[in-house]
A and B are shown apart, each in its own frame.
Chain A
């Protein structure tokens, strides 16, 4: 059993210069600038979406509809909350991490198509603006799923803006997905085969395949919806030959795979964080990589489980079978992660706590996922708070916990500064507990008979809803701890150095933050991205730091894309 001691690479060293704030506010083709632009933009929308959630919970403190002026105004809240959280927070924040770290983890100088990359990002601010402008002309109020005819003949003009906005966001996603696939296919460094790629890259690859194949279906559905609304067509109007189930089928053919678009990169983040902070190789690397692809493919065959109460009865059982099958590759991941941390040397860093919190919450979402996959049970639970709880356990307890973990883990690389660990731990404890308090009781009210999307509910559910709302308010406040920590660390945070966690993947083999061209020369990947606990990995870290990273602090070298490192000094020795 190897018991290896490695010096903390570069902590306390001089920090590398950060890009100026103005560089983030204008067009840039640097994938790192674009990555931060994605993350910052999505955090802005996260706050807006969160504020809407607070208003929803305020309305639900009492069974009567009292806080909101009318039911339609309440419907606007959850419609915009869902749409913003999905399309303007989770999807772009994951794209931001992908943008920043995929090229770095590949040892590349940028994405394959830098200009396209910038273009994809710059579609997002106008799309977000269109979404918000809806409030001035009667906002969308048909839920994020926007089933017709409610979304066609019974919705105000904001619904059209909503659809156009999603169209733009979909284009941004597709362009980003193509870029990731080409980058990963073509820009891997010498010595990195597919099965030597970090698992985050595998996850982004699987995600990008889904994005490219599924998002066009959303575009198709939205086009039909817009035509029905503004051009007098009747794709979804039965009295003129249309069909309301047509929308549900096309919409979910995109939107179920979209669940994996939203969770697969988080799986990748978790694999990175668990291995690095438990100092132990990922258990069953190949199975985790392949299960991402399996989930991506099987994910295309399960869409109609969102329609168990509207789909033709004879079609329900086949979709139950595929939906249950997808539990198997997901289970493999969870057990592999447990195998990864078991027997490791676990640091309770904020990143690690959120990664372990991810497993803790995601498994609950997985279990309830199997429950609602069962047709007879879903007949009762469909469109209740049970489902609301289920997908928040997957997308908040899962993806958002993963993103928090990734922020704590990679923030030092992005900014050169460490976030405060004590505040990070308080943030974790508060988030973990208030998340449970907010979403666990929702299972119970749903089972007892409370439908989702109502401003008015039966009085017997009030006690539970008060617990949910108060926990929800705490959860909302806890978000500001990490936002504060991020800003605080920029000025007061400990200087991180190139590799504060002593990780083996290539993004750490450069300065923090990296220079515009990422690396001077081409970094050499270690044969196993998670080869902790070996003498070779220790030697690798030491050699990379001395020969590769340290000279990069030289300002003259950092500015030149064609710069070569000076030849290693033979006297330095190993």
Chain B
């Protein structure tokens, strides 16, 4: 600011105070910028380093602008204050072309620099990496389903079996470049990992992509960042980063592949893997599988609940009630909950949903049998109140 125009000055520009103020603003800007690291969460991907560095520059420049403007504002407000009843005018001073040129020119230069810097960071974080692993993620109310293929190609040798496996949490390892292909089933969502500084919307009808490389072992929150309905705040999961590829294969991939190659006969044992295909955990609580959703009724002790509800609802058996509630979720609404919220998991690939506007999704009988059998084990009683496996199979088939 042009201090030479200060009224009452004797025409001398007070160089020392100006120099001190400039130094204070520049240093202050760096001090403000230096808080970047303290505010952001840990850096868990390559993008995090580049983005934090860029933010540091933005915050430093922003901090300088902040100090300059607030400094001048507070200085003027205090230095030039007069009594409210004062009746004199200030100087009739209309402007200064040089100053206006300076405060147009300097911000313009800063803007150009920031554009090119941001552009280069953007090119860096979205550049394709060699040896990328492709993972597919489907966002749906109110959960994520991740789909992987076997990196060792074991499933390809058995074309009759499922070629992919799924989970509700994401698994990867330090240094694995990931290409995430993102889809949305019902409404738009956004895949956000705050510690990795990466975010991409999941759009209905348009597959989007996100590239990142984890750099830090640990378990980090994946947050849905696009409003998707009542359970939006509860729509989060975790990304588990193993220290190395060996651990990743041993802990996550091998059990999944083995499960497909040698599926257990018992549907109850198959159920947790089957359930990872569906978004149930986004809305229901089930302690035995770690579900924490709040939009729907709790699944804890579901077999006992089914006995009670089967009586009120006139269902022939608890297993019938469970299977029916998944195939036809709007027939019996638990008090306190709304119809049309839960997707309808039908028995054929496509058919109109029971309630207009409700979401329809295909669930083969085999999956429903496993899920019903599993829920039948959720009881405080010493024995399941449901019938045996054959009874469950019959109950499921009766829903067609």
Cα distance A375–B47 in the bound complex, in angstroms:
12
A424 to chain B, nearest CB (A): 11
Taking a contact as CB atoms closer than 8 A, the residue among A285, A320, A371 that contacts B55 in the complex is A371
Cα distance A143–B190 in the bound complex, in angstroms:
15
Cα distance A375–B119 in the bound complex, in angstroms:
8
Contact B108 A328, beta carbon cutoff 8 Å: yes
Contact B107 A72, beta carbon cutoff 8 Å: no
User: Which chain A residues border B12 with CB–CB below 8 Å?
Assistant: none
Q: Given A338-B1, A345-B82, does the pair A244, B93 have CB atoms closer than 8 Å? A: no
Taking a contact as CB atoms closer than 8 A, the residue among A281, A344, A502 that contacts B80 in the complex is A344
B340 to chain A, nearest CB (A): 9
Task: Tell whether B313 is near chain A: CB-to-CB under 8 Å.
Answer: no
Task: Tell whether B13 is near chain A: CB-to-CB under 8 Å.
Answer: no
A79 to chain B, nearest CB (A): 9
Per-residue B-contact encoding for A414-457, CB less than 8 Å = 1, 0 else: 00000001000000000000000000000010011101011111
CB nearest to A281 among chain B residues: B94
User: Which chain A residues border B126 with CB–CB below 8 Å?
Assistant: 313
Per-residue B-contact encoding for A363-381, CB less than 8 Å = 1, 0 else: 1100110110011110110
Contact B229 A347, beta carbon cutoff 8 Å: no
Stretch at the interface among B98-106, B265-273, B368-376, B392-400: B98-106
Contact A331 B103, beta carbon cutoff 8 Å: yes
Contact B89 A533, beta carbon cutoff 8 Å: yes
Stretch at the interface among A93-101, A114-122, A145-153: A145-153
Contact B119 A75, beta carbon cutoff 8 Å: no
User: Which chain B residues border A3 with CB–CB below 8 Å?
Assistant: 88-89
Task: Tell whether B188 is near chain A: CB-to-CB under 8 Å.
Answer: yes
Task: Tell whether A321 is near chain B: CB-to-CB under 8 Å.
Answer: yes
Contact B107 A327, beta carbon cutoff 8 Å: yes
CB nearest to B226 among chain A residues: A383
A306 to chain B, nearest CB (A): 12
Contact A451 B77, beta carbon cutoff 8 Å: no
Contact A448 B203, beta carbon cutoff 8 Å: no
Cα distance A453–B233 in the bound complex, in angstroms:
8
Contact B229 A72, beta carbon cutoff 8 Å: yes
Cα distance A346–B295 in the bound complex, in angstroms:
57
> B residues 272-300 with Cβ under 8 Å of A?
294-295
Cα distance A364–B346 in the bound complex, in angstroms:
53
Per-residue A-contact encoding for B117-152, CB less than 8 Å = 1, 0 else: 011011001100000000000000000000000000
User: Which chain A residues border B229 with CB–CB below 8 Å?
Assistant: 71-72, 75, 141, 150, 154
Taking a contact as CB atoms closer than 8 A, the residue among B51, B88, B122, B205 that contacts A380 in the complex is B51
Q: How many A-B residue pairs have CB under 8 A?
A: 300
Task: Tell whether B347 is near chain A: CB-to-CB under 8 Å.
Answer: no
Cα distance A364–B1 in the bound complex, in angstroms:
19
Contact A342 B76, beta carbon cutoff 8 Å: yes
Cα distance A454–B294 in the bound complex, in angstroms:
13
Cα distance A384–B190 in the bound complex, in angstroms:
11
Q: Given A363-B69, A377-B54, does the pair A343, B7 have CB atoms closer than 8 Å? A: yes
Contact A449 B201, beta carbon cutoff 8 Å: no
> B residues 243-280 with Cβ under 8 Å of A?
none
Task: Tell whether B41 is near chain A: CB-to-CB under 8 Å.
Answer: yes
CB nearest to B51 among chain A residues: A376
B76 to chain A, nearest CB (A): 5
Cα distance A251–B171 in the bound complex, in angstroms:
37
Cα distance A495–B70 in the bound complex, in angstroms:
35
B54, B86, B107, most chain A CB atoms within 10 A: B107
Contact A370 B197, beta carbon cutoff 8 Å: no
Contact A376 B122, beta carbon cutoff 8 Å: yes
Q: Given A142-B227, A317-B119, does the pair A532, B80 have CB atoms closer than 8 Å? A: no
Taking a contact as CB atoms closer than 8 A, the residue among A4, A320, A383, A447 that contacts B190 in the complex is A383
CB nearest to B340 among chain A residues: A154
Contact B1 A71, beta carbon cutoff 8 Å: no
User: Which chain A residues border B69 with CB–CB below 8 Å?
Assistant: 334, 338, 359-360, 363
User: Which chain B residues border A384 with CB–CB below 8 Å?
Assistant: 225
CB nearest to B220 among chain A residues: A449
B167 to chain A, nearest CB (A): 21
Contact A285 B91, beta carbon cutoff 8 Å: no
B193 to chain A, nearest CB (A): 9
CB nearest to B192 among chain A residues: A451
User: Which chain B residues border A360 with CB–CB below 8 Å?
Assistant: 69-70, 73
Taking a contact as CB atoms closer than 8 A, the residue among A7, A279, A325 that contacts B88 in the complex is A279
A-B pairs with the 10 shortest C-beta distances? A238-B205, A71-B230, A449-B194, A454-B233, A456-B233, A533-B92, A280-B90, A72-B230, A344-B90, A310-B201
| Contacts A367-B65, A456-B234 supplied; 4 other A-B pairs, CB < 8 Å | A74-B233, A344-B76, A360-B70, A370-B114
Can you list 6 residue pairs at the A/B interface with Cβ under 8 Å? Answer: A7-B87, A8-B87, A75-B230, A328-B108, A346-B77, A502-B87
Give B residues with C-beta under 8 Å from A.
Answer: 1-2, 5-7, 39-41, 47, 50-51, 54-55, 58-59, 62, 65-66, 69-70, 72-73, 76-77, 80-84, 86-96, 99-100, 103-104, 107-108, 111, 114-115, 118-119, 121-122, 125-126, 186-188, 190, 192, 194-195, 197-201, 203-206, 208-209, 221, 223-234, 294-295, 357
